[in-house]
Amino acid sequence: MPIRKPFSILLFFYSALIVLLGFWGYQSAGSAASLYAGLFFGAACLIGSALMFIERRLGCYIGLLSSGFLSLVFSLRFYKNPQFFRGTALLISALVFFAMIYQTYQINRRR
């Protein structure tokens, strides 16, 4: 089963959001860790998106790992300090994570 293009587009916009949130965290709190993490995971999701767009399976796994790790990080941060913004970031990250799980399952089911 081929990789569906909407999932690669979803991952592309998610990578842009992650990079923007990294810059926002740096601007608002002066957190260099937010900037570096945003750039790293945004780049990882962007690479995964590009690989998915040209129908490479590796892109699904990269998207799955990066969105899953970010879901875990946002979950831990929301657990420590529940705020609306962190909850929204967690929700978006979890939705992308489950979309990547679904896409990876669809690809591996036909093997």
Give me the pLDDT at residue 74, please. 80
> What is the rounded CA–CA span in Å between residue 2 and residue 89?
29
For range 19-45, the mean pLDDT:
91
Lowest mean pLDDT among 3-7, 54-58, 106-110: 106-110
Average pLDDT for the chain: 84
For the record, the structure tokens of 73 come out as: 């990080």
pLDDT digits (tens, 9 = 90+) for 49-79: 999 888 888 888 888 888 888 888 888 887 8
> What is the rounded CA–CA span in Å between residue 104 and residue 63?
10
- What does DSSP assign to residue 31? -
Instruction: Please report the DSSP string for 37-93 in residue order.
Output: HHHHHHHHHHHHHHHHHTT-HHHHHHHHHHHHHHHHHHHHHHHHS--HHHHHHHHHH
Entry pTM? 0.82
For residue 102, name the pLDDT band (cuts at 50, 70, 90).
confident
Give me the pLDDT at residue 111, please. 60
